[in-house]
Structures are given as C-alpha cells and as structure tokens.
C-alpha cells in the first residue's frame, strides 16, 4: 500500500528518479543492508590483490621492507629492450589500425550504411578464434613468408591489428557516429578538397576522440598480449615479465603493479575523454570498454 502511494506521488511529480529507484529496490528485494554487504565484499575482492601486490613488491618472501625490486627492474637491460620491442609493435599496430579502420568506417557510413552491421560482425570474428589457435595457424600458414616478416615482430604488429579489432573498430565507429560525417565531407568537397585532404584534414581531426581511444586500446592490447608473442618466441614486455616471474617473484609483482596501474589510468582517461566528447552517447563508451575484456 505504501508502495502504491509513494509511486503514485512519484508519477504525479513526473515520475521522479527517486521513486523509480525506490520501486526497483523494493521489488528486487534490495535493502540498504544488502547493498552495503554486497558492495563491501566486492570492494574487498577487488582491492585486496592490489594492496597485496604493493606489499609483496616491497616486502617479498622475507619480511624486510625494501624497494630493491623496483630498482632491480630498472637496472635490467632486458626491461628496456622488451619495452622497446612492444613499443615498436604498438606503433605499427596503431598506424595500420587507424588507416585501415577509419576510411572503412567513414566510407561505409557515407555510401553503404546497410553494410555497417556486416562489417561490425567481421570485426568481432577474432573473438571466435582463440589467440593460441591463431598462433598455430600463423606458424603453419605463413611459415614460408620471408624472414623480415615471420622472423621479426612485424608479424606480431600485423596480427595484433586483427586481434584488437573487436575493441578498436567499435571505438572508431562510435566516434564516427557522434559527428555528422556527410555534412563535413560535403563541405570539404565543395570547397575543393580531395578525398585524401578530406580524410586527413577534416575527418580524422573530427574523429579525434574515437581514434584516440582506439589508439589507447590497441596500445594496451599490444603491451598486454602474451599468447601469440610467447608462443612465437618474441621477447615482448609480457613475455619478459613471465620470465622474470620464474625466479624473481617480487620483481615480477612490482612490474605487474606498475603495468596494472598504467593500464587502469589509461582506461579511466579514455572513458573520461570519451564521455566528454560524446556525452549523449555515454552508453557506447561503456559498451566499448566492456568488449575489451578478452585481451588474455
């Protein structure tokens, strides 16, 4: 009875948010106590590993506090060389991704909007083939390719473009959906701009936020990808991290802390940037972030 009166009042006041929430809470059977218990337990589950890692990185297996494991990381030449390898791969992956996906999305939105969902499905295909299986296929199908591709991280850069597509395609597409491409292109064309000039000087600058989040997502992918790199024996950053972990546990944990914090910081930055530029489409950003869980 009380429910009915409050919700009636709510709908009289134009169905204020509050009453909707109240009804939700009551019907779903959720009280304040339930909420507190669930949220505190969840928070513990997610924060304890972070705290434990911070502690482990300075304490190690014995109980003396020292920051030597952080120092040891930086004095290891392998640290910089693996980081540099991953960095080079990331540049290749990012460049190919931006120049492959952006024109495709812009073209499809202008000329064949009906193809959009098909293209999106193509971009999701990598989720169906586990990366271990992709590696197996690369090793057997591309074995005869010249050494400059198969014998160097070039192959990783080429493959990461595809493997990161489920995340990058969405973010560039979300960026493109937030601007009026048709008008921009028509304006540029009628002012005499060629297609290349239109793409480079009109479309890409306007797609900045979508492209930037794609850049970040593919960079994070490259710096986190382990399966393909390790099975093809390339010493990228995560591969080296696992090697360190085999005999120097506290150093590997220290590195993991740094890697996690950097990734998290970047993700938060991307979602804030995305929210700011496409506030009306904030659901898209969540969508896009949610799809990024499969980089393992």
Instruction: Rule CB under 8 A: say whether 128 interacts with other proteins.
Output: yes
CB of 268 vs other proteins, minimal distance in Å: 6
The answer to whether 92 and 157 have CB atoms below 8 angstroms apart is: yes
Q: How far is the CB of 77 from other proteins (least distance, A)?
A: 20
- Which stretch in 85-93, 180-188, 202-210, 244-252 sits in contact with other proteins by CB under 8 A? 244-252
Residue 131 lies near other proteins (rule: CB under 8 A): yes
> Does 100 interact with other proteins (rule: CB under 8 A)?
yes
Output 4 or 77, the one with its CB closest to other proteins.
4
Report the C-alpha gap between 148 and 197 in whole angstroms.
Answer: 33
135 binds other proteins (CB under 8 A): yes
Closest to other proteins by CB, 165 vs 178, is: 165
The structure tokens listed for 151 are: 């014998």
Inter-residue contact 281 to 175 (CB < 8 Å): no
How near is the Cβ of 175 to other proteins at its closest, in Å? Answer: 16
Residue 121 token pair? 């499905």
Sign of the C-alpha dihedral, residues 96, 102, 107, 112?
A: positive
Q: Of 211, 220, 222, 284, which lies in the binding site for other proteins, with binding defined by CB under 8 A?
A: 220
Using CB under 8 A as the binding rule, whether residue 138 contacts other proteins is answered as yes
Going from the C-alpha of 66 to that of each of 50, 70, 72, 290, the distances in angstroms are 18, 9, 11, 37
CB under 8 A: which stretch of 66-74, 79-87, 111-119, 181-189 binds other proteins?
111-119
Report the sign of the C-alpha dihedral through residues 52, 56, 59, 60, in that order.
positive
Can residue 279 be called a binding residue for other proteins (CB under 8 A)?
no
Residue 165 CA to residue 128 CA, distance in Å, equals: 12
Residues 6 to 35 in contact with other proteins, rule: CB under 8 A: 7-8, 10-11, 15, 17-21, 23-25, 27-30, 34-35
Least distance (Å) between residue 118 CB and other proteins: 8
Please identify, among the stretches 69-77, 80-88, 131-139, 178-186, the one whose residues bind other proteins according to the rule CB under 8 A. Answer: 131-139
Q: How many residues bind other proteins (CB under 8 A)?
A: 105
Task: Using the minimum distance from each CB to other proteins, give the nearer residue, 83 or 259.
Answer: 259
Q: Applying CB under 8 A, does 141 fall inside the site for other proteins? A: yes
Alpha-carbon distance of 274 to 64, in angstroms, equals 44
Q: Which residues contact 176 (CB under 8 A, 6 or more apart)?
A: 105, 106, 109, 207, 210
Residue 70 as a binder of other proteins (CB under 8 A): the answer is no
Q: Please, where are the H alpha helices in the chain?
A: 2-12, 17-28, 32-59, 68-75, 77-111, 116-124, 131-141, 147-150, 154-163, 165-177, 181-190, 195-197, 204-206, 208-224, 227-231, 237-247, 249-277, 282-290
Contact 75, 137 (CB under 8 A): no
* C-alpha dihedral (28, 33, 37, 43), degrees to nearest 10: 90
**Residue 128: burial class (beta carbons within 10 Å; 0-12, 13-18, 19+):** exposed
Asked if 192 interacts with other proteins (CB under 8 A), we say no
Span near other proteins by CB under 8 A; candidates 85-93, 100-108, 177-185, 199-207? 100-108
Among 67, 80, 84, 264, binds other proteins (CB under 8 A): 264
Question: How near is the Cβ of 53 to other proteins at its closest, in Å?
Answer: 4
Residue 79 interacts with other proteins (CB under 8 A): yes or no: no
């Amino acid at each position: 009875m009380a429910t009915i009166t409050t919700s009636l009042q709510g709908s009289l006041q134009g169905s204020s948010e509050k009453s909707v929430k109240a009804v939700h809470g009551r019907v779903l059977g959720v009280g304040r106590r339930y909420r507190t218990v669930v949220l505190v337990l969840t928070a513990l589950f997610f924060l304890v590993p972070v705290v434990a890692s911070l502690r482990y990185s300075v304490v190690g297996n014995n109980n003396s506090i020292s920051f030597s494991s952080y120092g040891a990381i930086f004095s290891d030449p392998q640290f910089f060389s693996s980081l540099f390898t991953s960095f080079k791969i990331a540049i290749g992956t990012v460049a190919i991704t931006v120049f492959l996906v952006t024109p495709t999305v812009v073209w499809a939105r202008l000329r064949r909007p009906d193809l959009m969902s098909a293209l999106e499905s193509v971009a999701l295909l990598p989720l169906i083939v586990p990366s271990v299986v992709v590696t197996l296929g690369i090793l057997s199908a591309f074995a005869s390719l010249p050494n400059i591709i198969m014998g160097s991280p070039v192959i990783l850069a080429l493959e990461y473009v595809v493997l990161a597509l489920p995340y990058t395609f969405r973010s560039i597409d979300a960026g493109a959906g937030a601007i009026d491409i048709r008008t921009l292109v028509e304006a540029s064309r009628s002012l005499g701009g060629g297609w290349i000039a239109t793409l480079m000087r009109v479309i890409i600058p306007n797609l900045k936020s979508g492209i930037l989040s794609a850049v970040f997502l593919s960079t994070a992918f490259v710096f986190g990808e382990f399966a393909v790199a390790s099975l093809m024996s390339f010493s990228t950053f995560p591969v080296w991290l696992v090697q360190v972990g085999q005999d120097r546990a506290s150093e590997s944990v220290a590195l993991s802390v740094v890697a996690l914090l950097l990734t998290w910081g970047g993700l938060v930055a991307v979602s804030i940037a995305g929210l700011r530029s496409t506030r009306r489409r904030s659901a898209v950003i969540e969508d896009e972030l949610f799809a990024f869980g499969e980089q393992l």
